[in-house]
Amino acid sequence: MILLNELRKLDTDIVTLDEAIALSAFTKQLRASYGEHNAEVPDWLNDAEKKLVRHINNQLADSRAERLSKLRAQRERTLSPAERREKLEAEIAQLEGQPRTN
């Protein structure tokens, strides 16, 4: 009953990724059980499922973005001084070529 209550009052702000994935698996089991009994799936279950999917997708996207940021920083540290200077010159040239906005 604890999982059921957790789903009914779901607050994704306090749910970790692992918990969200576990709760998502539980919603799938519940949905299947409702189907086996030819019972209508309650709105709270549909809502919880949607919230969990959104939360999981957002968490995974955040994790990917964080990892990408770390990899870019690591790549930047491997550049030689000449490569860094070349990259800076290219960025300066690009910014100087843009029209000014006032």
pLDDT digits (tens, 9 = 90+) for 10-66: 999 999 999 999 999 999 999 999 999 999 999 999 999 999 999 999 999 999 999
Instruction: Tell me, yes or no, whether 101 lies in a domain.
Output: no
Q: Is residue 36 part of a domain?
A: yes
Single-letter amino acid code for the residue at 61: A
Grade residue 100 by pLDDT with cuts at 50, 70 and 90: low
Give the domain range for residue 39.
2-96
pTM (two decimals) = 0.74
Domain contains 66: yes
Query: Does residue 27 lie in a domain region?
Result: yes
Amino acid residing at 58:
N
pLDDT of 71 > 80? The answer is yes
Alpha carbons 51 and 20: distance in angstroms, whole number: 9
Domains held by the chain: number: 1
Token duo for residue 63? 């994790």
In a domain, 102, yes or no: no
Residue 45 lies in a domain: yes
